[in-house]
Amino acid sequence: MKREKGVCKGCGKERFIVNKTHYLCAACNRKRLEKQSKTHAKPKRLYNKSPKRLKEEEWYRQAKAQKKKDMIAGGYYRCFFSNKPLDPDKDYDWHHALGRKGALLYEYKNIFPVISKYHHEYHNLDAARLMKTTWYRGFLKRVKMINHKVYNKELDRLKKGGVISMETFLDEYI
């Protein structure tokens, strides 16, 4: 690239021109870029939520608040996975036992408070390693009494992971 000498439009001095679009020397071009980065920062992309989704999220907040209130009043505000008592003054993650699509997002019977550690283990460990955790077997026993759909979903997960046989699966399936 051939360097061209000329009069800078920024400072009016004869210099080597580095920005031929604005006809600026290196110092004036640097100032222009610094000013541009401060005043014309690229806006972060905002993902607009549909009015329907906003309404569903509000229902979800209400369902969580109601479930927490009911669990505290009933004396069983505990982690869904580990069954450890939860502090009513703290915020916890919420697990959706049957998924989050559509009305399942805010369905009262589908949401449960959980401790983050156990929630991450549940979602990130494969079936064999999950069975080796201290809390998973107790969770299976509790969930069998609470919700048959969730229990069957867990049995299917264990069968696919090769932890239980088809015979055991058919014996236990509710």
In sign, the C-alpha dihedral spanning 94, 174, 72, 77 is: negative
Q: Which of 63, 119, 121 is nearest to 86 (CA)?
A: 119
Q: Which of 97, 117, 113, 115 is nearest to 105 (CA)?
A: 97
**Which pLDDT tens digit goes with each residue over 67-103?**
999 999 999 999 999 999 999 999 999 999 988 888 9
Counting every residue written for the chain, the total comes to 174
Average pLDDT of the residues of the chain = 88
Is pLDDT above 60 for 1?
no
Task: Give the 3-state secondary structure of residue 92.
Answer: coil
Question: For the residues 48-60, what does the mean pLDDT come to?
Answer: 90
Q: Which of 137, 132, 128 is nearest to 157 (CA)?
A: 128
Place 50 in a pLDDT band, splitting at 50, 70 and 90.
confident
**Which pLDDT tens digit goes with each residue over 7-39?**
999 999 999 889 888 889 999 998 888 887 665
